[in-house]
Amino acid sequence: MIPILEFDHLSPGDILNRDIRAEENVDAAVDAVLAEVREKGDAALRAYTKRFDGVDLEDLQVSEGEMEAAWNALDPDFITTLEMAAANIRAFHEKQVHKDFLVTREGGIVMGQRYTPIEKVGVCVPSAPAAFPSTILMNVIPAKIAGVRDIVIVTPPDKDGKISPEALAAAKIAGADKIFKVGGAQAVAALAYGTETVPRVDKIVGPGGIFVATAKRKVFGQVAIDMIAGPSEILVLADGKSDPRWVAADLLSQAEHDVLASAVLVTDSRALAEQVQAELEVQLERLPRRDVARRSIDTGGKIIVTDSLDKAVEAVNRIAPEHLELCVDDPFALLHRVKNAGSIFLGRNAPEALGDYFAGPNHTLPTSGTARFSSPLSVDDFVKKSSFLYYDQAALSPVAERIAEFARREGLEAHARSVLIRNEKGGDAR
């Protein structure tokens, strides 16, 4: 049963008890996978796919025939749902596009900044129990908007060597270029190093379990990554007017993800806390994934009772949750006071699942308290910024001595001379 705790009696360690570091045996296993894939390429991918996914694959890449068959197999109404979600995601992320800027100043000075897309991106898509079409939409669409040239998806196959038709339809709608039937740390290795079939990319994005997260951490530097994601989290801040059934349902929407998922209620109402505690027990019994949700609720869940909404917001900012629901009469009054949260759901009719699938904001979010300093996946994650500047001779000459002095005060004489030499007529820069 989920515990009820008093905020004023909790230490910072009681609140922030999340740790996403891999155990030593995970580190060692991932090191071995990375080395094997780097050395043996496709042969290693096939061996690991047979070992971990139980299928012996000849072709790692999803074919055009498989794409067409998946599309034809789906209910047209669900395809419409995917297209509506994609349109919402696209419309939201198009607002994130930055424009180049140029600054000109008198005397022959030009400077500015330009944005260029990353050329190749790999998207990791988990498979539990089937590849998530929502993950595909949320990762591929911002990359397409940014102008990424090649977008590659990696996801584990099922026991029949197939990818779910829902995932393949989402990939087609989002605009992915290639899909490969490989998952886990071996997929990260393939994207980081390249194999005979899987192209090397410049950046790896997308969620995964501890092996994927550890592999991404280890290949960072060879390639860029989006973030090191921990288990999923939800924090519901609810007042006493909230429906305990709704609150319990929202907590369970994250608890069913993973036994390590974190579901937290913060409330200024002891009565609501007790009602939600009881309601969780009722709803847990109805869930197909109740065993997973039960372990998550019992080991990682908590209800924190505060004596005011002010204290409740303080708890939110300490925890820095991935998903935050503000189930109060006037959520906009609290919005500006929330400093640390990945995605914020305002009001009693905006459940976290709305953001997971349909509304438009990205669902790839900072976890494990990293919302204190990081942000949701966005178009920004798929572009690079380059600054540029131009000075003509007349602009450089008046400031050359000042720059040289600056350089010499840092002990860098060659820096100083590189500026001064441009003021000399065939002589040495002194």
Catalytic residue at 323? Answer: yes
* Residue 388 tokens, joined: 């540029």
Residue 288, amino acid? P
Q: Which helix (H) or strand (E) holds 264?
A: strand 262-267
Q: Where are the alpha helices (DSSP H) in 150-269?
A: 165-174, 184-193, 210-219, 244-255
* Residue 410 tokens, joined: 């840092």
Distance of CA 48 to the CA centre of its chain: 25
Q: What is the DSSP string of 105-164?
A: ETTTEEEEEEEEE-SEEEEE--BSSSB-HHHHHHHHHHHHHHT-SEEEEEE---TTS---
Task: In whole angstroms, give the CA distance from residue 202 to residue 181.
Answer: 20
Among the listed residues 322, 325, 352, 363, the single catalytic one is 322
Task: In whole angstroms, give the CA distance from residue 420 to residue 221.
Answer: 37
Residues contacting residue 389 through CB under 8 Å, at least 6 positions apart: 109, 110, 111, 112
Residue 144, amino acid? K
* Residue 25 tokens, joined: 């045996």
- Do the beta carbons of residue 253 and residue 352 sit within 8 Å? yes
Of residues 256, 154, 288, the one with CA closest to residue 215: 154
SS3 220: strand
- Do the beta carbons of residue 282 and residue 212 sit within 8 Å? no
- Do the beta carbons of residue 226 and residue 203 sit within 8 Å? yes
Among the listed residues 323, 325, 352, 363, the single catalytic one is 323
Catalytic residue at 36? Answer: no
10 phi/psi in degrees, rounded to 5 = -95, 140
CB atoms closer than 10 angstroms to residue 191: 33
Of residues 213, 229, 280, the one with CA closest to residue 253: 280
Sign for the CA dihedral angle at 278, 279, 285, 289 comes to negative
Q: Which residues are catalytic?
A: 322-323
